[in-house]
Amino acid sequence: MLDEVKRIILVLSGKGGVGKSTVSTQLALTLKESGFKVGLLDIDLCGPSVPHILNLEDQNVHQGPDGWVPVYMDSEQRLGVMSIGFLLKSRNDAVVWRGPKKTSMIKQFLEDVSWQELDYLIIDTPPGTSDEHITVMENLRNVPQCSAIIVTTPQQVAIEDVRKEITFCRKTGIPIFGIIENMSGYECPNCSECTNIFSSGGGESLAEISKITFLGKVPIDPRVGMLAGKGQAAVTELPDSTTSKVFIKLVKMLSDSAVSNS
């Protein structure tokens, strides 16, 4: 049930492993820490990693009178989470469904979760442009205040896939809020020096060429990798890190754009 959701952000990536779930979870946690009411919906049916990242793997969802009740991260219920992972017996259970079954599962995820009132619903999608994306786009096309954040790494191969993602959003009519470049250089946990091990700036230049807002560069930071599995936010655990600053800025950009749209 999306009637009480003020704003939906789809998190997309052209390739797997670029840090889409890390961005989705850190964005959701930063929004929660900034005082918003947030939902995080993981529709990566073949590799749901959100329950693991948020340390919620032993949790189950149950049916309430108004639909599935999300798993809450906190007693004040400021961050609710729903993932196919909660419905699988083990993290290693693969979901081998064909198109129609996947489509109906995603529709249920979009329609039957009892989110209550939310400022933001973050949707973590699988990589690429699959059946899941088409179903989500078809169902959200007419929802006001729905936009996409595209996650990429700086390398050329990832950038090529992002171009396809941009075309997909433009064809399906979902506005792109911006592009975020993850794994952009390596931030040393000791002295915070950032070294560009690979190329850097590919996402930024693609954003410029495509006239899309660039949302920032998140470096490879081993400490951020270690937050996965603990459910902790970079903004609270690593407040001085570049990652924390990028997410605080992103939340401000989202809030400012909500004000300018209203």
Residue 143: strand, helix, or coil: coil
Structure tokens at 248: 């605080």
Cβ atoms of 233 and 13 within 8 Å: the answer is no
Q: Shortest CA distance to 116 belongs to which of 246, 250, 2?
A: 2
- Contacting positions for ligand SF4 (CB under 6 A): 188, 190-191, 193
Residues 172-231 contacting ligand ATP, CB under 6 A: 182-183, 218, 220-221, 224-225, 228
- Distance, in Å, from the CA atom of 169 to the CA atom of 183, rounded to the nearest integer, reads 23
Cβ atoms of 216 and 184 within 8 Å: the answer is no
Picked from ligand ATP, ligand SF4, none, the partner binding residue 221 (CB below 5 to 8 A depending on kind) is ligand ATP
Among 8, 9, 12, 22, binds ligand ATP (CB under 6 A): 22
Please tell me whether 46 is known to bind a ligand.
no
* Contacting residues for 126 by C-beta, under 8 A, at least 6 apart: 16, 43, 44, 45, 46, 47, 132, 133
Element (H, E) at 186: strand 176-187
Residue 6 Cβ vs ligand ATP, minimum distance, rounded to whole Å: 25
* Residue located via tokens 């096309």: 141
Nearer to ligand SF4 by Cβ, of 157 and 226: the residue is 226
* Residue located via tokens 């996650």: 151
DSSP letter assigned to residue 125 = P
Residues 48-67 contacting ligand ATP, CB under 6 A: 49
Nearer to ligand ATP by Cβ, of 46 and 258: the residue is 46
| Distances, alpha carbon 193 to alpha carbons 197, 205, 240, in Å | 12, 23, 13
Is residue 21 within the footprint of ligand ATP (CB under 6 A)?
yes
Size of site (CB under 6 A) for ligand ATP: 20
Is residue 13 within the footprint of ligand ATP (CB under 6 A)?
yes
Please tell me whether 249 is known to bind a ligand.
no
Picked from ligand SF4, ligand ATP, none, the partner binding residue 190 (CB below 5 to 8 A depending on kind) is ligand SF4
Q: How many CB atoms lie within 10 A of CB 249?
A: 13
Residue 197 Cβ vs ligand SF4, minimum distance, rounded to whole Å: 12
Please tell me whether 199 is known to bind a ligand.
no
Picked from ligand SF4, ligand ATP, none, the partner binding residue 188 (CB below 5 to 8 A depending on kind) is ligand SF4
Residues comprising the binding site? 14-21, 188, 191
Binding site for ligand ATP (CB under 6 A): 13, 16-22, 44, 47, 49, 127, 182-183, 218, 220-221, 224-225, 228
Residues comprising the binding site for ATP? 14-21
